[in-house]
């Protein structure tokens, strides 16, 4: 009986590993295929799209970079500025909601939080009309300002809970030392919430970097287009002998190049990202 119990336990553990391994393989295989296809030419992709084929075509990456570098630079600028603005304003707004008493505080807070229940696509037309009337079409501000305005809601929700849990003695000590409200926010509140702010920064940067619909609506100048729109152009630019046959090697190489900044950002800030999620869970 004991022997059967041990074998049964081992069998259950083996099945668990098989199931988890299968799920992991299914999750990561699309990314592996993305890299594999990025080294193929059109003929190799048509005949054997699923596995590695030789020779490898490393020239796909210079071809993709040549077209993507300008779009990538635009995305880095727009996402970077939007990320910084979103994190700072969300932190400052959350600090005000957490540390100050004023009429309608709870009502305004829940009104802001309720925006998370509204699908972003519903605000597409109103935002476009506002941007158009302000004369911001075909400018970086047409992207940056809506991203900052719409990206603060989650940050305000998370940071307000975090700031509310900080002992008031820390802020009282800063006031006794002569620090004003803004100095207290900069010197006391912000250093304490660095992991949470890093989490919000990663989420904000990821969202703006991958956004396609809004840049497609407000930007028509090719010099200002972001990387998501640039990737759309691949299907028409990479053609074989004038025939509308997509060259998937350079196209997938462009996808890999577009994913590198996000991967680098996450690797650099992964420790803060995990700490921010953990601290948010504990504070809540």
> Model confidence over 144-164: pLDDT tens digits?
999 998 888 888 888 888 888
Range of the domain at 18: 2-37
Tell me whether residue 55 is in a domain. Answer: no
- 17 and 110 share one domain: no
Give the pair of three-digit tokens for residue 272.
Answer: 């803060």
Question: 255 near 35, Cβ under 8 Å?
Answer: no
Tell me whether residue 181 is in a domain. Answer: yes
Q: What is the DSSP letter of 186?
A: I
> Model confidence over 33-65: pLDDT tens digits?
888 888 888 778 888 878 787 888 888 888 888
Q: Is pLDDT at 176 greater than 80 in this prediction?
A: no
- 22 and 71 share one domain: no
> Model confidence over 192-246: pLDDT tens digits?
888 888 888 888 888 899 888 899 888 888 888 888 888 887 766 655 445 556 6
79 φ, ψ to 5°? -65, -40
Compute the CA torsion angle 116, 117, 121, 122 (nearest 10 deg). -120
Residue 100 has a CB neighbour count (10 Å cut-off) of: 9
Whole-angstrom distance between the N-terminal and C-terminal Cα of the chain? 48
Tell me whether residue 146 is in a domain. Answer: yes
pTM of the entire predicted model: 0.80
243 φ, ψ to 5°? -95, 140
pLDDT value at residue 283 = 47
Tell me whether residue 52 is in a domain. Answer: no
Q: Is the dihedral of CA 245, 249, 250, 252 positive or negative?
A: positive
- 242 and 116 share one domain: yes
* Of 72, 63, 68, 26, residue with least CA distance to 262: 72
């Amino acid at each position: 009986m004991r022997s059967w119990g041990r074998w049964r336990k081992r069998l259950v553990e083996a099945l668990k590993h098989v199931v988890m391994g299968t799920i992991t393989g299914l999750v990561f295989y699309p990314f592996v295929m993305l890299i594999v296809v990025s080294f193929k030419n059109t003929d190799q992709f048509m005949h054997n799209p699923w596995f590695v084929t030789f020779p490898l075509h490393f020239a796909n990456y210079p071809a993709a970079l040549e077209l993507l570098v300008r779009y990538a630079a635009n995305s880095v600028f727009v996402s970077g500025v939007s990320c910084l603005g979103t994190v700072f304003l969300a932190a400052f707004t959350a600090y005000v909601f957490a540390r100050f008493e004023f009429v309608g505080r709870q009502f305004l807070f829940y009104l802001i939080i309720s925006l998370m229940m509204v699908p972003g696509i519903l605000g597409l037309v109103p935002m476009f009309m506002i941007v158009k009337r302000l004369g911001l079409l075909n400018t970086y501000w047409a992207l940056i300002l809506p991203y900052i305005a719409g990206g603060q809601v989650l940050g305000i929700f998370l940071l307000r809970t975090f700031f509310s849990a900080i002992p008031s003695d820390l802020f009282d000590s800063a006031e006794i030392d002569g620090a004003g409200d803004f100095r207290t926010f900069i010197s006391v509140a912000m250093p304490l919430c660095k992991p949470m702010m890093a989490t919000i920064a990663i989420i904000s940067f990821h969202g703006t970097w991958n956004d396609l619909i809004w840049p497609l609506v407000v930007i028509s100048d090719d010099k200002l287009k972001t990387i998501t729109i640039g990737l759309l152009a691949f299907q028409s630019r990479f053609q074989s002998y004038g025939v509308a046959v997509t060259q998937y090697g350079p196209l997938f190489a462009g996808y890999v190049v577009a994913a590198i900044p996000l991967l680098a950002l996450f690797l650099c800030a992964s420790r803060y990202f995990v700490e921010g999620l953990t601290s948010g869970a504990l504070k809540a």
